[in-house]
Structure 1
Amino acid sequence: MNSQAQIIEHLIEKQPENKILTANLLYRDLPANFSEQAFYQTVTRLTKKGVLCHLTKGLYYRPRCSRFGKIPLSERNIIEHYTEGYHGMVIGYRMYHQYGLTTQVAKNVEVLSNVLTENRKTIRNVKVSRLDLNFDDSICVAISTLEILQNYNSIENINRSQLAEYMKKYAMNYSEDAVITALRHRKYKKSTIAFLAAFLGFWKIRNTLQQYLSSLSTYVIPQMEQFYGPA
């Protein structure tokens, strides 16, 4: 084995177990004079030996082993790779269920992440979409709310009273900056924005969301009476 191959193998073998490794990012950690061909040949050889496991195109992991054999990479490992450290968030039914808005739990997990280099990637049952944002707490809450309102009519067995409580709490802690940032980076229907504005108006929270709406349009959105009863 030549010296380059040994260094490549050492780099790979010191990576944490059961943590997703992105091949092209590992290659960038090597000195500039290292052969890309030698790198991928080493990756292929270590995969055949079982030192590495191939996950999907360009992604690998070092399996954790126990006395019973290799411990498979979990769904949680995959989600954490794309979300930890303000790099992303879970949306869709997993999020709706987390907030108690539905009893339905989807087999597939939807994730938004700034880690992804391409627009979309599916890893087992985790579907990741790229969104170039710093996912701090206020941004995650803003996106969660917009996602809930955008998909309100399609969420199975939605708990309206729970949504009413969620939106009351959201309105009391409303961050205009976070919503505007979310709207700049991810497309939402005007009716979704109007729906959010209606909740904020009900709780008398000042906002500037009318800038995204047309005064000549009528948006088909649920009435607040559905959530809070007659005024």
Structure 2
Amino acid sequence: MKVAEKIADKIAGMPDGSTFRYQELPIEREEYTAATKAIERLVKNGLITRASTGLFYKPKRSAFGILKPDEQELLKPYLFSAGKRIAYITGTLLYNRMGLTTQVPKNIKIATRDKRLELTLGNQKVTSIKSYADINDDNYRYLEYLDAIKDFKTIPDLNKEAAVRLLKDGIGKLEDRQLFKKLALKYPPRVRALAGALMELVSPTEDLNALRKSLNPLSTFEFGLNTTLLPNNTTWNIA
């Protein structure tokens, strides 16, 4: 089968709106030159669209025209490797999805352990920051909440009362509290303090000794949260 035919068959089997890179196509290294020409023809004919350098998507069509894939789909090649999660969306886009801010960011941040990246997808710039732990499908939701605590003071248009409630409720729904506490210990002291305080509100009998002992008892952690907003703020030296 010719290279162009192999690529066409592969793309035909993809769901509309999905993204792909050359690495996901059924081609050998020596076939890349022919593959590049085949891809260019498909782009020219409107069968696929170039999202960024080396990244393409199969358009999803509606009565209103071609629909672009959402950020999650466009970013999928950078969030996963060989089918395994290696990164997650963080920053203002994450906090918007969590309901912590109404602002929609111009730029997107991705947390990743090792891989550094900087790219442009449409009108949005994507940059990476280093995660505090290795990332997988089992822990990235926990890391999202810890990131929100870390950035609590800088989240735009944050309503602190609503944020405490949203974070407390979200943490309360996490299945593995031991994992959450283990990951929290990898974050700066201020994150450990607020994470501990929120967990205590969720489960007053929770064993939080490891988080307490990791904190300097003489330190105060400034979040702008008084006792009205966070009933146990003083026991965690939060102000």
Common fold: TM-score over 0.5: yes
Cα separation, 2, equivalents of 1:78 and 1:58 = 15
2:194 aligns to what? 195
Where does 1:22-33 land on structure 2 (aligned, <5 Å)?
22-26=21-25, 29-30=26-27, 32=28
Question: Percent identity of the aligned residues?
Answer: 20
Corresponding letter in the other structure for 2:159: N
Corresponding letter in the other structure for 2:219: T
Cα separation, 1, equivalents of 2:170 and 2:5 = 54
1:225 aligns to what? 227
Asked if the contact 2:50–2:57 (Cα under 8 Å) also holds between the matched residues in 1, the reply is yes
Where does 1:1-231 land on structure 2 (aligned, <5 Å)?
3-26=2-25, 29-30=26-27, 32=28, 35-65=31-61, 71-76=66-71, 78=73, 81=76, 87=85, 89-112=88-111, 119-124=117-122, 125=124, 127=126, 129=128, 133-136=135-138, 139-169=139-169, 172=172, 175-181=177-183, 188-200=187-199, 203=204, 205-207=206-208, 208-210=210-212, 213=214, 215=216, 218-222=219-223, 225=227, 227-229=229-231
1:20 deviates by 0.7
Pairwise CA RMSD of aligned residues?
3.9
Asked if the contact 1:101–1:163 (Cα under 8 Å) also holds between the matched residues in 2, the reply is yes
The one-character-per-residue Cα deviations of 1:167-212 (angstroms, maximum 9, x if unpaired) are 443565561213434766xxx433222332344456453232356x
1:74 deviates by 3.4
1:77 deviates by 6.1
Asked if the contact 2:184–2:191 (Cα under 8 Å) also holds between the matched residues in 1, the reply is no
Count of residue pairs brought into register by the alignment: 219
Asked if the contact 2:17–2:68 (Cα under 8 Å) also holds between the matched residues in 1, the reply is yes
1:56 deviates by 0.6
TM (normalized to structure 1)? 0.70
Q: 1:99 to 1:61 in 2, by over 3 A?
A: closer
Corresponding letter in the other structure for 1:195: L
The one-character-per-residue Cα deviations of 1:122-144 (angstroms, maximum 9, x if unpaired) are 423373648652233xx344222
Higher helix share: 1
Asked if the contact 1:93–1:104 (Cα under 8 Å) also holds between the matched residues in 2, the reply is yes
TM (normalized to structure 2)? 0.68
2:237 aligns to what? none
Q: 1:66 to 1:170 in 2, by over 3 A?
A: closer
Corresponding letter in the other structure for 1:165: R
Cα separation, 2, equivalents of 1:225 and 1:77 = 38
Asked if the contact 2:51–2:74 (Cα under 8 Å) also holds between the matched residues in 1, the reply is no
Unaligned runs of 5+ in 2: 235-239
Cα separation, 1, equivalents of 2:182 and 2:108 = 26
The one-character-per-residue Cα deviations of 1:30-75 (angstroms, maximum 9, x if unpaired) are 3x58522222221122222322211111101222345765x04133
Asked if the contact 1:164–1:227 (Cα under 8 Å) also holds between the matched residues in 2, the reply is yes
Corresponding letter in the other structure for 1:177: L
Cα separation, 2, equivalents of 1:42 and 1:117 = 30
